[in-house]
């Protein structure tokens, strides 16, 4: 319903613009509020349809990408570009060492595996290789959940796979990395879910109506999750809804924590890439867009129009990803506008991080010298837990401030206010 009303409103705006002849090119690329001239095509589709027709013919089971070569040569060629590495101003698919770039992470994640090695994400081609090579210790085989279908299938047969030794499991069972099967099963072109954690989260929560099938394809992996303590099962904290507040409420209700910080004694939770949850409620989501609109635009590959299967920064494909709607801008203009949305979020993330570091150090010192105890110590530890989770929920989101800057600023503000409260408690 809400979408229908919005479409009508937009059509009215566009109509009135045409009537008033007010379709001047937008020269001011730094004012995000002046978006009146942006149109919304029906169904959130970008212009130009794919010329590739899906069919049921082809290899069965989980097979390597190459096996689809003769059936969908252009899509396979596009898919193979996922091994490219290129940085954008704030994101892109070039990996870098987070611990080196953001030294405070060592303080935040002290005592937990993320303090050992933590790199920025890169293309899907590397999903298996990067999880195998990380120096981070692994409790079981669960980290494979968001990397390979062979793990998802093994888990469906036997939940015990989650507790299997990671290295042994990989050696014995994993022959194929990220592949067509992860999104399509045996039918390329048809989206298909095979991740138990998402299927069960959708069953438990009312938000399933809000997630379209195109969003759930990516939500198999681009979501915040945690592993249960006893069974090491990948679980989405979604039973109260989507977003940081809801995830935190879920963790509070369960008293869950990933680890205890050795210096402050706070029981901490690690947030993980909540792209799906962050995008919910954004300007674009309300307009009916989904991940595919921007990340899989229609592109030309070897003379054929296809849905791009190269998942990277849409700012590299601004023409195909954005300009069909933002038609009064050019590529540079829209990239500049996107970056003007990202910058304040990135800067605020850094500011709050430095303040959190200061807070952790002060709390650790007070705990160490014994001048803080009882109820005040507990309060300060709870503040560390909550503020760090809210901060992390923004930091690890891969859109770098683009997907939903309003929501992300609220999360950071909440963390900031909590830290202020904590610093006051530490002064007494």
Strands 234-235 and 267-268, bridge-based pairing: unpaired
CA torsion, ordered 93, 280, 42, 54, to nearest 10 deg:
50
Q: Is 292 in the site for ligand HEC (CB under 6 A)?
A: yes
Binding mask 236-275 for ligand HEC (x = CB under 6 A): ---------------------------------------x
Q: Does 72 bind ligand HEC (CB under 6 A)?
A: yes
Residue showing the smallest CB distance to ligand HEC in the complex: 91
Binder among 62, 198, 315, 377 for ligand HEC (CB under 6 A): 315
DSSP state of 272: -
Which residue, 85 or 163, has its beta carbon nearer to ligand HEC? 85
| CA 254 to chain CA centroid, nearest Å | 24
Min dist CB 404 to ligand HEC, Å, is 8
What part of residues 389-428 is at the interface with ligand HEC (CB under 6 A)? 398-400, 402-403, 405
Among 182, 386, 392, 416, binds ligand HEC (CB under 6 A): 182
CB of 316 to ligand HEC, least distance (A): 7
Determine, following the binding rule CB under 6 A, whether residue 170 of this chain makes contact with ligand HEC. no
Longest dimension (CA), the chain: 73
Q: Could you say which of 7, 14, 17, 54 contacts ligand HEC (CB under 6 A)?
A: 54
Of 86-94, 109-117, 238-246, 384-392, the segment contacting ligand HEC by CB under 6 A is 86-94
Instruction: Determine, following the binding rule CB under 6 A, whether residue 293 of this chain makes contact with ligand HEC.
Output: yes
| Interacting residues with ligand HEC between 106 and 135 (CB under 6 A) | 120-124, 126-127, 130
Residues in 338-377 that interact with ligand HEC by CB under 6 A:
338, 341
**b/e map 14-38, b = 16+ CB within 10 Å:** beeeeeeeeeeebeebeeeeeeebb
Nearest CA among 395, 385, 346, 315 for reference residue 98: 395
Rounded to 5°, angle at Cα 267 from 261 and 271: 95
CB of 150 to ligand HEC, least distance (A): 11
> Binding to ligand HEC by residue 177, rule CB under 6 A?
no
DSSP string, 178-246: S-THHHHTTSTTS-----HHHHHHHHH-GGGGGS-HHHHHHHTTSS--EE-TTT--EE---TT-SSHHH
């Amino acid at each position: 319903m809400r979408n229908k009303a919005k479409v009508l409103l937009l059509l009215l705006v566009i109509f009135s613009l045409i009537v008033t002849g007010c379709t001047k090119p937008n020269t001011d690329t730094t004012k995000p509020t002046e978006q009146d001239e942006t149109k919304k095509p029906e169904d959130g589709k970008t212009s130009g349809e794919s010329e590739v027709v899906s069919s049921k013919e082809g290899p069965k089971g989980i097979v390597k990408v190459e096996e689809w070569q003769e059936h969908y040569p252009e899509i396979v060629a596009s898919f193979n570009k996922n091994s490219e590495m290129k940085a954008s101003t704030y994101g892109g698919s070039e990996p870098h060492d987070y611990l080196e770039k953001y030294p405070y992470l060592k303080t935040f994640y002290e005592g937990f595996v993320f303090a050992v090695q933590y790199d920025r994400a890169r293309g899907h081609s590397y999903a298996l290789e990067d999880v195998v090579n990380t120096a981070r210790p692994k409790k079981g085989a669960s980290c494979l959940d968001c990397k390979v279908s062979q793990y998802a299938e093994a888990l469906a047969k036997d939940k015990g796979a989650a507790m299997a030794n990671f290295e042994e499991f990989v050696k014995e069972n994993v022959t194929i990395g990220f592949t067509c099967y992860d999104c399509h099963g045996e039918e390329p072109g048809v989206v298909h879910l095979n991740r138990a954690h998402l299927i069960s989260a959708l069953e438990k929560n009312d938000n399933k109506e809000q997630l379209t099938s195109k969003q759930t394809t990516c939500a198999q992996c681009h979501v915040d999750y945690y592993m249960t303590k006893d069974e090491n099962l990948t679980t989405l904290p979604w039973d109260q809804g989507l977003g940081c507040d809801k995830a935190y409420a879920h963790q509070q209700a369960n008293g869950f924590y990933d680890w205890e910080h050795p210096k402050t004694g706070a029981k901490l939770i690690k947030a993980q890439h909540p792209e799906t949850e962050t995008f919910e409620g954004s300007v674009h989501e309300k307009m009916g867009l989904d991940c595919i609109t921007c990340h899989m635009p229609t592109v030309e590959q070897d003379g054929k129009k296809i849905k791009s299967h190269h998942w990277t920064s849409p700012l590299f494909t601004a023409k195909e990803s954005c300009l069909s709607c933002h038609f009064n801008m050019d590529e540079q203009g829209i990239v500049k506008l996107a970056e003007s949305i990202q910058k304040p979020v990135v800067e605020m993330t850094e500011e709050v991080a430095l303040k959190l570091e200061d807070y952790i150090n002060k709390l650790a010192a007070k705990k160490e010298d014994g001048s803080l105890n009882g109820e005040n110590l507990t309060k300060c530890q709870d503040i560390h837990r909550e503020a760090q989770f809210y901060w992390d929920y923004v930091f690890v989101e891969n859109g770098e401030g683009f997907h939903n800057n309003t929501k992300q600023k609220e999360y950071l503000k909440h963390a900031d206010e909590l830290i202020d409260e904590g610093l006051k408690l530490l002064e007494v």
